[in-house]
Chains A and B, each alone.
Chain A
């Protein structure tokens, strides 16, 4: 299978969801449990794909580096966010290359973002809390033409869900439950 992706399986899925949009509905979730200090344990929750549930047995740790008051047990929230963007871009490049019939030899993405922590700390009103900018650099090699790679790059910009979510923003709501003390 070229690039490790079954193009036939992808094509069949495309036709399935053309016929039945319900099969394209995906719901994801993660749960974070505070462990200590800045450290959390993340658990992927069961997801739903189409009409069915999909168990997800994945856990990871998020922490801050020591200079940011953590114990450095895992990547920090910004790195996780950037990797969520990068991982989604990577899927889109790999799938898109397969659709175009390109055999990939290299696919590497670096994602970088800048924060001014004065925003989070609230010490300077004018400084934005959000990332000032996120930038990524994609390294591609394979048997595609320059035109094909450029087409792929443009397609990924239009089709990557995480990229689009960050670029356009999505409605985001937080809810609070105050529980009984243990």
Chain B
């Protein structure tokens, strides 16, 4: 059955610039938030936004929830041709690499959660980071970033950017003077992670935003470890937020995706890069991400509560030398975290009173947390920096970064905290007992 094609396939609010104006000042189109299929929910509590924001209601079927539009292309009409000719293709459905209702729905949910005008989903967190950095850093431009970075971002900045005509400096974002000294005449961008891996250092966003604004730079924040439930970086002066949506946003360890969120102006610029890099997110993956996001606020609450209990337990355990959880007063950034993060999330890093080999024995003795890289899923995941994220560094280099032997990274899931604590307790006993037997 062929239904009557609607004249507009896309954002009904989108304006044309107007044709036949006498000069630039007579053009009519302004930037709007979105694109969206209508006015979207932007106000409300986090849980309300998680459940409702962005949902596409299909009037034809009355389906509850956004249907899956697993199509690569769309019927073209005069409206579509006009959008291409006049340069507003992002507001119309033309082809699913350019835009698709499932992408729009989840993008609108993310924009609402971050308090932003616009957002863009990608086929991975790295795709989001690459498109964002390349959109905002001109050839010849210089990037200022942190010494504490996710390895994939580090590799991209360190190994790839130079071949693309951009330069980079790695500095400690907590040392603002050093940061300022590293700014060059061609510096355009600061990129930091809100919570660093694995030491969970907190980036002082207001101070970094002030520095960026003083030097006319843009600030991009990777908030993967925190999620918008813990902090909305745009409210603290960031220009853009990026996420690996493979982590907390999706939350079920069954998807690779990424997102970039900010003003419509900047996200439009990133969209142009996304088109040519081809890193759009498949509609079915968008559906999964949208579904995952509905429980984000609930999950983050549980991650945070569990992590607090587990961290408090670890802190009192005699075989644990140090616990790093920004929600505990013992964390060096506790005060900063308290001011900036409404919830710290579920990441804990701790050092056992032993070697990396014993830490490996501990990980293998655990029954509940899965020995796997990644984080942010409903299930607890555990890994060791020395043989995963920081395997490329020598032991001495790791020490210099603050990663000492016996360092364990735990992504606390939403299981019952008593079960997690019981499991950690037995694993600590067995891993560290075998050491004393050997000795």
Contacts and interface: CB of A to CB of B under 8 A. Distances in A.
Nearest to A5: B87
Contact of A99 (B27, B137, B139, B265): B27
A2 interface: yes
B438 interface: no
Given A2-B86, A46-B185, A155-B23, A51 B140 contact: no
Contacts, number: 99
Nearest to B88: A8
A53 interface: yes
B138 interface: yes
A155 B23 CA distance: 8
A31 B142 CA distance: 19
Contacts of B29: 7-8, 11-12, 15
Interface in A26-81: 45-46, 48, 51-58
Nearest to B264: A12
B23 A96 contact: yes
Contacts of B3: none
A100 B185 contact: no
B165 A57 contact: yes
A53 B139 contact: no
Give chain A's interface residue range (CB within 8 Å of chain B). Answer: 20 to 34
Contacts of B165: 57
Interface string B2-25: 000000000000001111111111
B27 A10 contact: yes
A15 B22 contact: no
A46 B142 CA distance: 11
Interface stretch (B191-199, B212-220, B335-343, B396-404): B212-220
B85 interface: yes
Contacts of A6: 86-88
B28 interface: yes
A159 B23 CA distance: 10
B351 interface: no
Interface in A119-177: 151, 155, 159
A56 B138 contact: yes
Nearest to B185: A46
Nearest to A57: B140
Contact of B188 (A11, A54, A95, A96): A54
A178 interface: no
A12 B32 CA distance: 9
A7 B23 contact: no
A99 B18 CA distance: 8
23 contacts: A1-B84, A2-B86, A8-B17, A9-B87, A11-B17, A11-B24, A11-B29, A11-B30, A14-B27, A15-B27, A15-B30, A15-B31, A48-B216, A53-B187, A53-B216, A57-B138, A57-B139, A57-B165, A95-B24, A99-B21, A100-B21, A101-B20, A151-B22
Interface of B: 16-31, 84-88, 137-142, 165, 185-188, 213, 215-218, 265, 268
7 closest pairs, A vs B, by CB?
Answer: A57-B140, A6-B87, A55-B141, A11-B27, A11-B17, A11-B29, A8-B88
Interface of A: 1-2, 5-12, 14-16, 18, 45-46, 48, 51-58, 95-96, 99-101, 151, 155, 159
Given A8-B17, A12-B30, A57-B139, 8 more contacts: A8-B86, A9-B268, A11-B28, A11-B29, A53-B187, A53-B217, A99-B23, A155-B23
